Each structure stands twice: as C-alpha cells, then as structure tokens.
Amino acid sequence: MLAAGLTSVGQFDANKISDYHSLIETNVLGFTNLLARIVSIFKTPSFQDGNSRDLQFGSRDLAALPGGYGASKAYINTLIQALSVELRGTGVSVGAFLPGGIDTAMATQSDLRWGGWG
C-alpha cells in the first residue's frame, strides 16, 4: 500500500509556498513516480503468469481540510480511477482503500485534528 505523504494544516494562505512544494513533491510527484514504476514491473512478461496483480492505494481524500493535503489526495484518487480503466485486460488492477482519519505521526506532528484543524 502506498500511503505516505506530507500534510499542511491551517488557512491556505497562511502556509509558505515552500510547504506546498514539499507537499506536492511528496504526495503527487513521488506517488506518481513510484506508481508508474510498480505498474511497469507488474506488466512485464515475468509477472504475466495468468494470475492477476492487484495494487491497493490508500488515503482518504480530505478535501474538507484547508491547504494542499486534500487536493493532493484527490489527485491520487483521480489518478487511480483513470489508471484502473487504462489497465483493464492487462491482468493488473488498481484500487483505492480510503479509510477515515488515522492517528499517525504525521497527524500528530502537524497538529492535525480529524474533523477540523488546529
């Protein structure tokens, strides 16, 4: 499961642009790069043994939270939906597992509170 990420909390215009660069670099570009590499490996002939390969990705789209975190997770969910269509018939399927808020180190470090912020 690929679910690592960074978050930003607080009013959108209160965060620094460098915070958003880091968030997008990790949550969007890092995820996309790793996903493309994994899908490429799963589509190679050595993996095509008649068994299907399922990739599950997680993190709830927290668009209700201000800042870029929810937007970055919405990107991931949209990418997974599009990729699931593209991969039909290849023996590789992708899906998104979308739990609610989970009390993680990231949430604690960013003072994230599920159902609101700061």
At 49-64, the pLDDT tens digits run 666 666 766 666 555 5
Residues 107, 109, 111, 117, CA torsion sign: negative
Q: Which tokens belong to 102?
A: 């989970």
- Are 98 and 77 in contact, with CB atoms under 8 Å apart? yes
CATH number at residue 22: 3.40.50.720
Instruction: Render pLDDT for 4-17 as a digit per residue (tens, 0 to 9).
Output: 677 776 677 777 78
- Are 71 and 26 in contact, with CB atoms under 8 Å apart? no
Q: To which residue do tokens 């912020």 refer?
A: 117
Structural domain of 38: 12-117
* pTM of the full structure: 0.74
DSSP H helices in 17-104: 17-24, 31-42, 69-86
Q: Which tokens belong to 38?
A: 């994994």
Domain contains 2: no
Instruction: Render pLDDT for 87-106 as a digit per residue (tens, 0 to 9).
Output: 998 888 888 777 666 666 66
Residues 83, 86, 92, 97, CA torsion sign: positive
Those residues whose C-beta lies under 8 Å from the C-beta of residue 23, and which sit 6 or more positions away, are 5, 6, 7, 8, 67, 68, 69, 72
Give the length of the chain: 118
Domain contains 4: no
Structurally, the chain folds into a number of domains equal to 1
Domain contains 7: no
